Each structure stands twice: as structure tokens, then as C-alpha cells.
Amino acid sequence: MVRALIVTLAIVAVLLPQRDAGADEKQAEQIEQFSRMLATLESEDDARSATAELNVLRNKLLEARLLLRDDKPKDLARLLKLLKPQVQLIRAQIDQGLAEKRAAVQRSKADELDEKVTRLRREKDQLEQRLTVLESQAQSRAATPRPGGEVGTVPVASPASPATTPAAEQ
């Protein structure tokens, strides 16, 4: 009987998890670390890109505190294992949101400037047409004899300097 009891106790000793005296403090410290991370991430998520995932992290931390209070280290360990990737996901979503926001602002600026360039190009074309008409008028006036017999002298503007359009225009 004594022998059977000894065997049973040995099996129980092997099967039961080893209670580490410092395990509780370590887990509590981890929870605090994640809480600080949560506060940091919340402050960074101005664009509210990760609101849902921040709520998930908040709820999991609450659950972790309850498990710590109820002295369930094994369950707590499983939960803590998931908190790190949860934090990474929030970080990735915040970064994604910021990048998309910057890209949208940049695109809007580029679109506006493209429109302005189109307007300027049209304005330049119209001005060139007007200049052509004026030059033609000036030349015909210069060629027309005056009543006294002399030829007019309207100064014609110098020929347009060949402007080089930026390559990107094409």
C-alpha cells in the first residue's frame, strides 16, 4: 500500500505544473508592460486605424488581470503568449493608416497641381495664339503704305524663343 501511495504521489508530482515562486511577479510585470504599450498605442492612433484591435487588447489585459487574481497561471501564460502579436498587429495597423493618410495627402496635392498645370498650359496656348494674331496685325500694318506713301513701322516682337517643354509634359 505504501508502495502504491509512493508511486501515485510521484506521478502526481510529475504531472502537476511546477509552481515557480517568482512566476506570479513575472506575469504581473508582463501585464504592466502590455498596459503601458496599450497607453502608448492609444496615444499614437490619432487616425483611429486600430480602434477595434485596441479594444481587443484592452479586453485581453482585463482578462489577464482576472486570471492573475484567480491564480490561474497556466491560462494566464496562454493568454500572455497572444498579447505580443496583438500589439504587433495594432502597431502594423497604425503604421498602415499613417502611410495611407500620407499617400492620400500626397495624391491630392499631385492631382491639384496636375490640374493647375493643365490650366497653365491652356493659358499659355491661348496667349500664344493671341501673340500670333498680334504679330500678323503688326506685320500687315508695317507693310501697308501710309497715305503719304511711306511704309509703317510697327515694331514686331522678336521671334519667340524656342522654349523647351519639360520632358514629363509629353
Partner 1 sequence: MQHKVSDEKAHRSRRGERVGLLALGSLIGITVMGLPGCGPPPKPASLIRLEAMRGQPLTREVQTGNPAGWAESDGYYRQAFQAWNDSDLDDAEDYTQLSTLSYRIALAQTKQKAAEAQLRADGSRLEIAQEQERFYTEEIARIQARVDLLTANLATAESRARERLIAMAAAVKPSGPSEEELASLRQELDAARARLTATEEVKANLYAAGRYNKAKNLLGRAEQELGAGDLAAARTTLAEAATETEAARTEATPKHEELEARRQLAETTQRLQTTAEAIEGVEVRNEPRGIVVAAADVFAPGNKAKLRDDRFLLLDRIASLVVEFAALPVIIEGHTDASGPKGKREALSRSYAETVRDYFLEKGIDAGRITTTGYGDTMPIEENRTAAGRAKNRRVEIVFKLR
Q: Please, are residues 52 and 25 in contact by the beta-carbon 8 Å criterion?
A: no
Q: Which of 70, 116, 143, 151 binds partner 1 (CB under 8 A)?
A: 116
- Could you tell me the smallest distance in angstroms from the CB atom of residue 37 to partner 1? 15
Minimal distance, residue 24 CB to partner 1, in Å: 21
Residues 157 and 117: their CA atoms lie apart, in Å, by: 27
93 near partner 1 (CB under 8 A): yes
Residue from the set 36, 58, 72, 109 that interacts with partner 1 by CB under 8 A: 109
- The C-alpha cell that represents 163 in the structure block: 522654349
The number of angstroms, rounded, from the C-alpha of 133 to the middle of its chain's C-alpha atoms is: 51
Burial of 42 (0-12, 13-18, 19+ CB in 10 A): middle
Stretch that binds partner 1, among 15-23, 33-41, 61-69, 131-139 (CB under 8 A): 131-139
Q: What are phi and psi of 56, to 5 degrees?
A: -60, -45
Nearer to partner 1, 40 or 132 (CB): 132
Phi-psi region of 44 (alpha: psi -120 to 50; beta: other; left: phi over 0): alpha
Interaction between residue 72 and partner 1 (CB under 8 A): no
Report the site for partner 1 in 5-34 (rule: CB under 8 A): 7-8
Q: Is 113 in the site for partner 1 (CB under 8 A)?
A: yes
Judged by CB under 8 A, the residue of 145, 147, 149, 162 near partner 1 is 147
* Distance, C-alpha 42 to centroid of its chain: 16
Residues found near partner 1 in the complex (CB under 8 A): 1, 4, 7-8, 78, 81-82, 85-86, 88-89, 92-93, 95-96, 99-100, 102-103, 106-107, 109-110, 113-114, 116-117, 120-121, 123-124, 127-128, 130-131, 134-135, 137-138, 141, 146-148, 152, 154-158, 160-161, 163, 165-166, 168-169
